[in-house]
Amino acid sequence: MSISEQWNDVFTSNYGSPRLLLTEGKGLHVKDSNGREYRDFLGGIATNIVGHANPKVIKAVEDQIKTLSHVSNLYAHPQVLELAQKLKELVGDDSARIFFCNSGAEANEAAIKASRLTGKSRIVAFTNSFHGRTIGALSITGQPGKAAPFEPLLPGVKFLKYGDFKSLKKGITKRTAMVMIEPIQGEAGVLTLPKGFLTAVRERCTEVGALLGIDEVQTGMGRTGKWFGYQHEGIKPDIITLAKGLGGGLPLGAMIALGESAKLFTPGTHGSTFGGNPISVAASRAAISVIEDDHLLSKITSLGELIINTAQTFPKVKEVRGAGLLIGIEFIEPIGSEILAALEDRGFLVNSPNPTTIRISPPLIATETDVNDFLVALRAILVGRL
């Protein structure tokens, strides 16, 4: 049986059927079942923030699983205390309080529930946003095609145009419990905001007493060159949601609440059996220490600029967007999946979030040589198509 036949024989068909069976990975590289090597320019799916099989992550996971594999949230354990302190430090606010869960959707569910505890229930989100597939997270996802089959969703959600300053005053009111926004919309094809937009949203939220929730599931953990995407604008959110890169390749999500919103959850209001699992948390701490010890953030911005400045000169390219190592390359025609397949043939994995775009989100360990090799391959493919 082919890989897709084996897949279709056992799985529900929500993912389509993959062409490759990946069997091992090291650093930026992965190997398939035929022994072919690829550079993983998708980084898992923006998850393997310090690459595959990172030695420090392996050691942390091994040490932890030998010591204590899981403990309920009825008890503390050293790893979870350390990671929560570290996240407070990265956010730079002593009022920050953390809730751990397992995924991005769960982190956003936690944020939605916290916002309801303000006594208000209306949420403002943005067109094209993606916040996850559970009913609550889907309700604030601004992609009607993904949400429509599951209606009725949560009531009281309004979508404003992403990046439209004019809509903020009327759209965000005293009745708004929370505004939820991604600093860059990764799943939509890496859409960016005009400068000053997050600041304007922050100001309007403060004016009307709404919480500002920033979904950093994809942009967090250094991906855009700072620990969190909102830090490029110097604003302070009320709620931050994290997952993907947070676990260093293992499942881990978090909601971070700051200031008054840190007091919203009280005993019994929320929970997660595996949230803050010691093994995922150990992996996360190791990944953060790799980013710090190897000074990875110092080169992320310039790598991103190299990709943007180079790729936008290629034929068939309409626009290159993003920041750091979260980049979308949009073509003038719907050739995303064709380019994806051609890159795969040349040994690079990417994805195509919509028909005209490919997205890259390699691990932060990617070097200038990796990036240049990718650009050479992409250029050759696009020139060959002329």
Ligand X SMILES: Cc1ncc(COP(=O)(O)O)c(C=O)c1O
Q: Provide the binding-site residues for ligand X, judged by CB under 6 A.
A: 103-105, 108, 130-132, 182, 186-187, 215, 217-218, 243
Nearest distance, CB of residue 230 and ligand X, angstroms: 13
DSSP letter assigned to residue 52: B
Nearer to ligand X, 218 or 224 (CB): 218
Nearer to ligand X, 106 or 370 (CB): 106
Give the residue at shortest CB distance from ligand X. Answer: 104
Nearer to ligand X, 31 or 113 (CB): 113
Q: What are phi and psi of 238, to 5 degrees?
A: -95, -35
Q: Within 10 A of 362 (CB to CB), how many other CB atoms are there? A: 30
Nearest distance, CB of residue 244 and ligand X, angstroms: 6
Nearest distance, CB of residue 242 and ligand X, angstroms: 9
Q: Would you say 150 and 142 are in contact if contact means Cβ atoms under 8 Å apart?
A: no
Nearer to ligand X, 186 or 378 (CB): 186
Place of tokens 């990764």: 186
Nearest distance, CB of residue 353 and ligand X, angstroms: 9
DSSP letter assigned to residue 15: G
For residue 151, give every residue at least 6 positions away whose Cβ sits within 8 Å of its Cβ, in sequence order, or none: none
AA identity, residue 181: I
Separation between Cα atoms, residue 274 and residue 259, nearest integer Å: 26
* Strand, helix or coil for residue 297: helix
AA identity, residue 153: L
For residue 280, give every residue at least 6 positions away whose Cβ sits within 8 Å of its Cβ, in sequence order, or none: 102, 247, 250, 251, 252, 274
DSSP letter assigned to residue 194: P
Place of tokens 């998850």: 47
Q: Within 10 A of 60 (CB to CB), how many other CB atoms are there? A: 23
Nearer to ligand X, 80 or 101 (CB): 101
Q: Would you say 304 and 325 are in contact if contact means Cβ atoms under 8 Å apart?
A: yes
Edge-to-edge strand ranges of the sheet holding 253-257: 97-101, 253-257, 239-242, 211-215, 176-181, 122-126, 157-160
- Nearest one of 61, 108, 53, 111 to 284, comparing CA atoms: 61
Nearer to ligand X, 218 or 352 (CB): 218
Nearest distance, CB of residue 125 and ligand X, angstroms: 11
Nearer to ligand X, 254 or 378 (CB): 254
Nearer to ligand X, 139 or 218 (CB): 218
* Strand, helix or coil for residue 231: helix
How, if at all, do strands 191-192 and 176-181 pair? unpaired
Nearer to ligand X, 130 or 299 (CB): 130
